[in-house]
Chains A and B, each alone.
Chain A
């Protein structure tokens, strides 16, 4: 088998997004730790990449050089990636419940040495775009048309290294590199606007010479359209500023809890049931 993309129809894609959210909640509650809300904001983007016709992969040959790459630079949101990988056939769904447990390759942050299909070992914020740039440059040297997608958090954009990579990618005009900023408005200690406001991201990234788009990142159609546009750009790297809500899908619950960030906290068994009911 060779690498190929999977493209679900609109209804199936909506169902898949719900499945990913259910996995995220179940596995973090089972692990009794992790970052469910950071994972939930990213669902529509990850869903579109894995099931909306973008990532050309072969789960049976995870290192096939012809594959596209998705690097989750905000590694703490890895439950969304594990959920998508499992749905894509990298491993069985039951494995998801081994998240963060001794012996499981589904570590708290992505570990490429232990789990085939993980493209970068992240967890120290700020490095993923540089790693993605390395993959993009290698594809150029080899004459492969692999596309590299990197997702960062909006708080993560405070790391200077991200901007080093933005500048270098502009120099090398890596049109095969797409940065998606999951602008969910929060970071560990509060609202990103209060901690370190680097918005508007599109203006700032664009000023380096990148193609930019700003979208509603929890709107599946908008995400699909933006990814399509990004693939059509041929002369420079592309960025999608994905305005999302942290914990999207269970917001009424977070409101009730009085914490719209809910950073790095799993739901209790009781809240898990409420969350799953909300998802329908």
Chain B
């Protein structure tokens, strides 16, 4: 399956690569930025920064708890620490440190989780971060960002570094289609409408955005007009765009590469339930761990496809 084929998207770069490039580029003009790594810098792509700025880089070993609290201390002394690990190890291994050393004191720590989702493929479930968005979103004051492609990841990296406060940036391992070919006007907390539509709204983030665009093509062929929104920030969520979609279209399908509980779908549903009840459908990993395999095969098997989005949307309208 070539994601983004129907909507004509070109194959792009991995979001982790885009993050790594942007970080190394921006590091020169942001002297307060420091990187703290727990022995995965060549995977998370903080490595280019660390090669360029060794005096501002610390590799503290495979110790995620220490990683996060050290970053808290650096931030409390005025630095802007970027701490990156695999999404699962960062969020799950160091959750109390994120709570106590970062979120509760509201410190300016930039948490970055790479290898999110099941699309990491062959390494299997132990390395897949599929709980991370839920965990991050429960933390008061932490901005949670899930960019869709390389260009928006670069813009998100810049936005994150200039944002005063804790953030979580979620990155993927595989190459994903390029959506923002003319640059991306990125603002934390403000979603981006990629396609207008009047029958149904598809809200997605991460690599599901390209699939939502494909689904919109499919739906259009069926005579259904679909709005597509890149909801790159899950917390704080763009309530206005959701309420508008709920009022202006007849249903909302939310697609994400995450477990069913606590992610983007939950965040959108909370807004519609409170302000503008509307029919909703959900495309996600469900309530299960995945398995090893090739990324395309996994996405197919666990129902993360344009077809799944199309089916959910058509189903909503026929109810």
Contacts and interface: CB of A to CB of B under 8 A. Distances in A.
Contact of B63 (A113, A123, A164): A164
A138 interface: yes
A112 B106 CA distance: 10
Interface string B52-69: 000110101101011011
Nearest to B79: A138
B313 to A, nearest CB: 44
B76 A135 contact: yes
B164 interface: no
A7 interface: no
A27 B135 CA distance: 37
Given A130-B65, A161-B97, A172-B58, A119 B76 contact: yes
Contacts of A132: 73
A141 B55 contact: yes
Nearest to B59: A171
B72 A120 contact: yes
Contacts of B96: 124, 127
Contacts of B71: 134
Binding site secondary structure of chain B = helix
B233 interface: no
Given A112-B105, A113-B105, A124-B100, A133 B73 contact: yes
A139 B63 contact: no
A140 B97 CA distance: 23
A119 B78 CA distance: 12
B70 interface: yes
B81 to A, nearest CB: 7
Contacts of B104: 111, 113, 121
Given A121-B104, A122-B100, A130 B77 contact: no
B308 interface: no
Contact of B105 (A65, A120, A160, A165): A120
Interface in B94-123: 96-97, 99-101, 104-106
A212 B65 CA distance: 24
Contacts, number: 112
A167 interface: yes
A141 B55 CA distance: 7
Binding site secondary structure of chain A = helix
Contacts of A171: 60-61
Greatest chain A CB density within 10 A among B63, B72, B78, B100 is at B100
B105 A130 contact: no
A128 to B, nearest CB: 8
Given A120-B105, A121-B100, A121-B105, A127 B74 contact: no
Contacts of A121: 100-101, 104-105
Contacts of B55: 141
A130 B66 contact: yes
B75 interface: yes
B70 A134 contact: yes
B34 interface: yes
Given A127-B97, A168-B61, A138 B77 contact: yes
Nearest to B72: A131
Interface of B: 34, 55-56, 58, 60-61, 63, 65-66, 68-79, 81, 96-97, 99-101, 104-106
Nearest 4 pairs of A and B residues by beta carbon: A134-B73, A130-B69, A138-B77, A164-B66
15 contacts: A112-B76, A112-B105, A113-B105, A120-B73, A121-B100, A126-B65, A130-B73, A134-B71, A135-B73, A138-B78, A146-B77, A161-B97, A165-B66, A165-B70, A172-B58
Interface of A: 65, 69, 111-113, 119-124, 126-127, 130-139, 141-142, 146, 160-161, 164-165, 167-168, 171-172
